[in-house]
Amino acid sequence: MAEVEIDNGQQKTSPVYDRVKAVKAFDETKAGVQGLVDAGISKLPPFFYMSPEDLHDLPTLTDPHLRANFQVPIIDIKDILDPAQHKEIVEKTRSAAEEWGFFQVINHGIPNHVLKEALDGVRRFHEQPREVKMRYYSRTTDIVRYYTNYDLLQSRGASWRDTLICVMAPDPPPPEKYPCACRDVLLEYSKHVQSLGEVILGLLSEALGLDPNHLKDIGCSEGHTLGCQYYPACPEPERTLGHVRHRDPDFLTILLQDEIGGLQVLHQDHWIDVPPMEGSLIVNIGDFLQLISNDKMKSVEHRVLAKSVGPRISLACLFTTHLQPSNKVYGPLKELVSPHNPALYRETSILNYLASYASVGGLGNVLSFFKLV
C-alpha cells in the first residue's frame, strides 16, 4: 500500500509507514533503545513520536517566583527517634502524602556509597554488549527481565527508556539469577531500601492515626521489586518522553535518581520539576495506598522528560507483590471508614487491579474502576 506525496509540484509515491511491523522488528533485536543509540541514529523511529496531547497536555511551571512555592516537600528523618522531633516528622509526612503524593527524604540512613554503587550497577548492566543483555530480554512476567517499554506493542507512542526488572521479595530467585553486572550492589541496596520502606510506612501509618506497624502488618512491605531504568541521550527529545504520565501500581515507591533529572509531578494542573538532590530519595504514594487509605493519601500522576543529555539512570523500588500476585484482597481500612466517612472503593486483589491496569496500558485513573461512589 502506498500514499501520494507532492514534492515541488511533482507527484511521487512512498510506502505507508507500518508501525506494527516497525515495532515488532525493533523488539526482535532485543537491543533496546540503547541499541538505537549504538547504531548512531540521528532521528527517532516514528513509533517513538508522541502526540501534542501527550507532550503538552498541561503546562510546566516555569515562573521562578511561583516555583519557590511549588516544590515537592523535603522531609529530614535524621531525628526520627527523638520524641520531640518525631511528631513533627509524622505531620510533615501526612501533609506531603495528602497534598502532593510525593516527598523527598534526606538523612535516611542509606550510605551515599551504596546509592552511588547502585546507580553504577544499573549503568553497567545497560551498557553491556547486546549479546549479554539479550539473555534477559523478555515480555513475560519473569522475575528478572530486561525490556523496552512494558506496553511497547500497544502504546500510542513508545517512551525513550530501557528497563531491567528484578523481584527482590518476598520470594527472590537464587542470587545467580540476577545479572552479574549489578548482582551484588542490587542485593545490598535491596536490604537498605527494605528497611527504609518499613520506616516510611511506619510514618504513614501514624499519619493515618494508626499503630506504627499497621501498614507493615497488613502486607504493604511484604514484597518489593527494583525497576532499573536507563534513559539514553535522545536525538529528538521534543518528540517523545522518557516515561509517559502514569500512577504507580503499588503501595509505595522509593526512587533513586541521578544528577540529570527529568522527573515531573502533576500538582494543581501543572507539571512540577523534581530536581535531583544529592543523597536524597524520592517517595511517592501508589494506587493501593490511596485505595486502602480511602483517598486520604494521594497517588499522583508523574512523568519523565526525554533529554538530549544522558544517560539518565534511576532505580525505583516498588513495594508490592504485583509480580507474584495472590488473591489477598484489599479495601479501605475499617479503622478509616464510618457512617460519616463511608468506603469509597470496593475490595480488590492485586491480581484484579493489575488486569485493569493492563487494560488501559497504565494510563489514567485505574482506581476509578473500583469506585463505589
**340-371 confidence digits (pLDDT tens):** 999 999 999 988 898 888 887 777 799 999 99
Q: If pLDDT is split at 50, 70 and 90, which confidence band does 238 have?
A: very high
Query: Is 13's pLDDT higher than 50?
Result: no
Query: What is the per-residue pLDDT for 154?
Result: 86
pLDDT score for 323: 65
Query: 3 or 87: which carries more pLDDT confidence?
Result: 87
How confident is the model at residue 325, as a pLDDT? 63
Please say if the pLDDT value at position 6 is more than 90: no
Over 50: is that where the pLDDT of 157 sits?
Answer: yes
pLDDT of residue 351: 86
Residue 155 domain-assigned (yes or no): yes
Is residue 310 in a domain? yes
User: pLDDT-derived band of residue 69, with 50, 70 and 90 as boundaries?
Assistant: confident
Total tally of structural domains belonging to the chain? 1
pLDDT band at 1 (very low <50, low <70, confident <90, very high): very low
46 in a domain, yes or no? no
pLDDT above 50 for 86: yes
DSSP 172: P
- Domain assignment present for residue 121? The answer is yes
- Average pLDDT of span 285-290: 97
Q: Is residue 293 one of the residues assigned to a domain?
A: yes
The verdict on residue 13 lying in a domain is no
Give the model confidence (pLDDT) of 39-67 as tens digits. Answer: 999 999 999 999 998 999 898 988 776 77
Report yes or no on 3 lying in a domain.
Answer: no
- Residue 211 domain flag: yes
SS3 string, the chain, reads CEEEEEECCEEEEEECCCHHHHHHHHHHHCCHHHHHHHCCCCCCCHHHCCCHHHHCCCCECCCHHHHCCCCCCEEECCCCCCHHHHHHHHHHHHHHHHHCCEEEEECCCCCHHHHHHHHHHHHHHHCCCHHHHHHHECCCCCCEEEECCCCCCCCCCCCCCEEEEEEEECCCCCHHHCCCCCHHHHHHHHHHHHHHHHHHHHHHHHHCCCCCCHHHHCCCCCCEEEEEEEECCCCCHHHCEEEEEECCCCCEEEEEECCCCCEEEEECCEEEECCCCCCCEEEEECHHHHHHCCCCCCCCCEEEECCCCCCEEEEEEEECCCCCCCCCEECCCHHHCECCECCCECCEEHHHHHHHHHHCCCCCCHHHHHECC
Cα 302 to Cα 50, 215, 269, 318, 368: the distances in Å are 16, 24, 12, 15, 18
* pLDDT over 60 (residue 12): no
pTM: 0.93
DSSP state, 221? T
pLDDT surpasses 60 at 4: no
- CATH value at residue 195: 2.60.120.330
User: Would you tell me how many other CB atoms lie within 10 Å of the CB of residue 60?
Assistant: 12
Inform me whether the pLDDT recorded for 220 exceeds 90: yes
In which domain, by residue range, is 311 found? Answer: 70-370
pLDDT in tens, 74-84: 999 999 999 99
Assess contact for 127 and 34: CB atoms under 8 A.
yes
Closest CA to 200 of 118, 300, 282, 322: 282
